[in-house]
C-alpha cells in the first residue's frame, strides 16, 4: 500500500503480448509497472474487456499495422484522477505542466 493507503491501477492495452499462453510474459505488466512504484497494480484482460474499460473512461487504444505485417499499439497514457469513491475528477496528460496537474490532484483530494 502507498502511504495514503491506496493502490494505483495501471492497465495494459495489449493482452495478447502479456499473456502466458502467447509468449510466457504473464508477469510483464506487473514487473514493468511496479518498476515505477510498488503501489501500482498491473491490470490486463481480454481485448473485449479492455475495449469495454476504454469506452467507459478517457483512455484510447488502437492496433496500428506496421510494415512487414507487424503492428504497434497506439494509446493514450493519462493519469486518470478519481475521488475516494472512484468517480472521475480529471485527467492529467503526460505532457501537462506541473501546476495544472497539481491543481487537479488538489481538487480530487478536496472532493474526497
What is the pTM (predicted TM-score) of this model? 0.56
Is residue 15 within 8 Å of residue 7, measured between CB atoms?
no
Residue 18 pLDDT: 60
Q: Please state the three-class secondary structure of 36-92 as a single string.
A: CCCCEEEECCCHHHHHHHHHCCCCCEEEEECHHHCEEEEECCCEEEECCCCCEEEEE
Residue 99 pLDDT: 94
- Over residues 87-104, the mean pLDDT reads 89
Confidence of residue 36 (pLDDT cuts 50, 70, 90): confident
Residue 1 pLDDT: 39
41-91 pLDDT, tens digit each: 777 777 787 778 777 777 777 888 999 998 888 888 788 888 878 788 888
**pLDDT of 11 higher than 90:** no
Confidence of residue 2 (pLDDT cuts 50, 70, 90): very low
Q: Map out the domains of the chain with their CATH numbers.
A: 1-75 (3.40.30.10), 78-112 (no CATH)
Least confidently predicted of 51-60, 90-99, 101-110: 51-60
Amino acid at each position: 500500500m502507498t502511504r495514503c493507503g491506496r493502490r494505483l491501477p495501471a492497465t495494459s492495452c495489449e493482452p495478447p503480448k502479456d499473456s502466458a499462453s502467447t509468449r510466457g510474459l504473464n508477469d510483464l505488466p506487473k514487473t514493468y509497472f511496479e518498476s515505477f512504484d510498488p503501489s501500482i497494480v498491473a491490470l490486463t484482460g481480454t481485448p473485449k474487456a479492455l475495449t469495454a474499460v476504454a469506452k467507459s473512461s478517457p483512455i484510447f487504444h488502437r492496433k496500428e499495422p506496421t510494415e512487414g505485417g507487424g503492428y504497434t499499439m497506439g494509446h493514450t497514457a493519462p493519469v486518470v484522477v478519481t475521488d475516494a469513491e472512484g468517480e472521475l475528477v480529471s485527467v492529467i496528460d503526460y505532457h501537462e505542466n506541473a501546476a495544472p496537474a497539481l491543481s487537479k490532484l488538489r481538487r480530487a483530494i478536496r472532493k474526497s
